[in-house]
Amino acid sequence: MKTVILIATYNERDNIVPLLEQVFTTVPEAHVLVIDDSSPDKTYELVQNLQQTKYMDKLFLLQRAGKLGLGTAYVAGFNWALSRDYEVIMHMDADFSHNPKYIPQFLQEIKTNDLVIGSRYIKGGGVLNWGLVRKFISRGGSLYSRFILGINIRDLTGGFKCFRRKVLDSINVNDLKSNGYSFQVETTYKTFLNKFRIKEIPIIFEDRRVGQSKMSSKIFLEALLMIIKLKLTLKPKSSTRLSS
C-alpha cells in the first residue's frame, strides 16, 4: 500500500536530518511529507537540501507562513495526502520520541485495521526520561479522556498513528476543531464514532533528544476543555470495532 508519513516541524534543525535518514532506511518504499511552520532555525532548509541531493522522489516539503499549530499542520498534511493516491497516511513526531523502528509494525497492522495507534499505556509500552509531573499529565490526560468519552483506547493523546485513507475521508479532516494535543483525541474519537477498526500496538516513547518540548499549560487546558466539547456534540456508536 502506498504510504506517506507526515512530520510536523518547528525548530527541529538538530533532529530532522538523522530522523529522515532513519525513516528512509527503515522503510525505503515510503514517502515523507514535512510540514514546517517557517521555523526560525530554518529546519526547512535542511529538508530542501535532502530533497535536492538524496531523496528527490520520496521527500516533500510543505512550508507554511508561520507557527499555526500542530492540528492545522496535520490537517494541511492530510489534505495534501488525500489529493494524491496514498492509501496509508501516518504521522509521527520530529524529535525521535517516536522511534522509526516501529513503522514496519504499523504498516503490517494497518493491513487488517483502519487506525493503528502507537500506545504507551498497553502491555509492552512505556515512556523513558520523563519526570513525575509529565507522566502524571500524560497518563491523567488519557484516563480523563477515556472516562469522559467512554472509549476503551488506552492512549488517546499519543501522536504516533497510522490511518487508512478511507478513515480520513470519512471523518472530514477540514471539520476538525482542535489545534493542540487534543487534536490526537479528536481524530481517534471520530474514527471510533465512524465504526472503524482501531488497534493499539505497544511503543516505548523516549523524551526528545534535543530541543524543547512544545507542551504548555495553555495547550493542556485547551485539551481538557475540548474533550468535554467533543462529548457534548458527538455520540459514540456501540458497534464500533476495537481490535485487541
**Structural domain spans, the chain:** 3-243
The rounded Cα 81 to chain-centroid distance in angstroms is: 14
How far from 5 is each of 59, 77, 161, 189, CA to CA, in Å? Answer: 10, 9, 10, 21
pLDDT in tens, the chain (244 residues): 999 999 999 999 999 999 999 999 999 999 999 999 999 999 999 999 999 999 999 999 999 999 988 999 999 999 999 999 999 999 999 999 999 999 999 999 999 999 999 999 999 999 998 778 777 777 787 888 899 999 999 999 899 999 999 999 999 999 988 877 789 999 999 999 999 999 999 999 988 555 455 555 566 677 778 888 888 887 655 444 556 4
* Inter-residue contact 69 to 179 (CB < 8 Å): yes
In this prediction, residue 135 carries a pLDDT of 77
Strand 161-164 relative to strand 115-119, pairing:
antiparallel
Is 3-243 assigned to CATH 2.60.120.650? no
User: Burial, 10: exposed, middle or buried (Cβ in 10 Å; 0-12, 13-18, 19+)?
Assistant: buried
In this prediction, residue 239 carries a pLDDT of 47
Question: E strand or H helix at 61, and its extent?
Answer: strand 59-63
Strand 161-164 relative to strand 88-92, pairing:
antiparallel
Query: Could you give phi then psi for residue 192, rounded to 5 degrees?
Result: -60, -45
Question: E strand or H helix at 134, and its extent?
Answer: helix 132-149
Is the pTM of the predicted complex or chain greater than 0.85?
Answer: yes
Residue 181 three-state SS: coil
In this prediction, residue 7 carries a pLDDT of 98
Question: E strand or H helix at 242, and its extent?
Answer: strand 242-243
SS in 3 state form for 185-219?
HHHHHHHHHCCCCEEEEECEEECCCCCCCCCCHHH
- Residue corresponding to grid cell 535542511: 46
Q: Which long-range contacts (CB under 8 A, 24 or more apart) does 46-50 make?
A: 46/13, 46/16, 46/17, 47/9, 47/16, 47/20, 50/17, 50/20
* Inter-residue contact 98 to 85 (CB < 8 Å): no
The grid cell for 69 is 499549530
**What percent of the chain stands above pLDDT 70?**
90
Burial state string for 175-199 with b = 16 or more CB within 10 A and e = fewer than 16: ebebbbbbbbbbbbbbbbbbebbbb
pLDDT in tens, 159-180: 999 999 999 999 999 998 887 7
Angle CA(207)–CA(159)–CA(98) in degrees, nearest 5?
40
* Inter-residue contact 239 to 194 (CB < 8 Å): no
